[in-house]
Amino acid sequence: MNWSSTAEFFAMGGYGLYVWGSFGITAAALLIEALLAKKRFADTRRLLRRELAADREALNEHASRRP
Amino acid sequence: MINWFKFASPASFYPLAGKLWPWFAALATAFCAAGLWISFFVAPTDFQQGEGYRIIFIHVPASWMSMFIYCVMAFWAAIGITFNTRLSGMMSAALAPTGALFAFLSLWTGALWGKPMWGAWWVWDARLTSELILFFLYLGYIALTSAIDDPRRADKAGAIVALVGVVNVPIIYFSVKWWNTLHQGASVSLTKAPSMATTMLWGMLLMALAFWMYSIAMSLYRVRAIILEREHHAGWVAELPEMQR
């Protein structure tokens, strides 16, 4: 084990800003990318579902108007 | 014998990607946990750089991935141009944002490492400059393909960027050999023993595996959204269980 206390762990031997700036931004970037990809998929799916529902409705109306 | 061309059809690749991505995401999480543990609690303090060297555990893997993803994009570009398969362009488009992100992270962590060790956030040396060009190539690919309305034409134009730009990857890799750079030479190579402690090497390799699995999971996930966007008029999309009320 390299660290005798939590404070020592976060200080990173004086390089805290650089080490945590690297790991922190990397973690945030990967997380944000995953959330954006999730949103993109959900948005596309919602749009397509709406499109399909509208199509079905139009078809039903068309069918019911026939004698 | 697997019929690979079967999976070149978006209709059969979409459910396959849906089944595969959670597994790669799980692998990424596992490798990341192990890699971070070694990075902070097992790997010893460097005798020269103290604790500051720990940036290596994400800097090197992110740089590797930024180069590797570009090569994979070039591979899909070549396949797309040769066989005229629609899925190839979708794969390239799905990989580009993740590649751009890793190129950015490589530059970002490099700057945060350069400042305390070299005294400068940035220097115009061959390694840094060629990596910056790689980042711009990714951005150029994304900008160009999203500026063209017809996806098939966008794929063709993007494929040219991917194939021409890939010459930059060996330039980045060998830059520290070909030119006199401030950036240090390779810590790990295939031909000679690595110039670092075994536990440091393990931490770096595990983080590289984590980033690799993350990239696969992310591109499989993103390609599904791209397939839906492009194939929205196809009959099979309407039949999907997630499209039912």
Q: What is the tens place of the pLDDT at every residue in B179-189?
A: 888 888 777 76
Amino acid found at B178: W
User: Per the domain annotation, does A50 fall within a domain?
Assistant: yes
Whether A26 contacts B101, CB under 8 Å: no
pLDDT band for B191, please (50, 70, 90 cuts): low
Q: Which among A9, A19, A29 has the least Cβ separation from residue B105? A: A29
State whether residue A10 sits within 8 Å of chain B by CB.
no
Which pLDDT score, from 0 to 100, does residue B2 have? 66
Residue B177 CB: number of other CB atoms within 10 A?
Answer: 11
Share of chain B above pLDDT 70, in %: 96
Report the C-alpha gap between A44 and A38 in whole angstroms.
Answer: 10
Give domain limits for chain B.
Answer: 19-42+55-229
Given a contact cutoff of 8 angstroms between Cβ atoms, the answer to whether A10 and B45 are in contact is no
> Residue A58 sits in which domain range?
33-67
Q: A58 — contact with chain B (CB < 8 Å)? A: no
Instruction: Give CA–CA dist B158/B76, Å, rounded.
Output: 11
The secondary structure of B24-80 as a DSSP string is HHHHHHHHHHHHHHIIIIISPPBTTTBGGGGGHHHHHHHHHHHHHHHHHHHHHHHHH
How many domains does one find in chain A? 1
Over residues B84-104, the mean pLDDT reads 96
* Cross-chain residue pair B55–A22, CB shorter than 8 Å: yes
DSSP 8-state assignment for residue B166: T
Spatial CB neighbours of B5, under 8 Å, sequence gap ≥ 6: B85
| A6 belongs to a structural domain | no
Q: How far apart, in whole angstroms, are the C-alpha atoms of residue A11 and residue B228?
A: 47
A chain contacts of residue B50, beta-carbon cutoff 8 Å: 13-15
Q: Token pair for residue B183?
A: 């950036």
Confidence of residue A66 (pLDDT cuts 50, 70, 90): low
Per-residue exposure over B191-204, b if at least 16 CB sit within 10 Å of its own CB, e if not: eeeeebeeebbbbb
Average pLDDT over residues B15-30: 96
**Per-residue model confidence as pLDDT tens digits over A3-53:** 889 999 998 989 999 999 999 999 999 999 999 999 999 999 999 999 888
Q: Decide: helix, strand or coil at residue B185.
A: coil
Q: What's the whole-number average pLDDT of chain B?
A: 92
Q: Alpha carbon B100 to chain centroid distance?
A: 7
For B50, phi then psi, to 5°, come to 60, -135
Q: What is the pLDDT of residue B116?
A: 93
User: Is A34 part of the contact surface with chain B (CB cutoff 8 Å)?
Assistant: yes
A24 touches chain B (CB under 8 A): no
Chain A's closest residue to B38, CA to CA, is: A1
In a domain, A55, yes or no: yes
Q: Which residue of A has its CA nearest to B221?
A: A37
Query: Residue A1 falls within a domain, yes or no?
Result: no
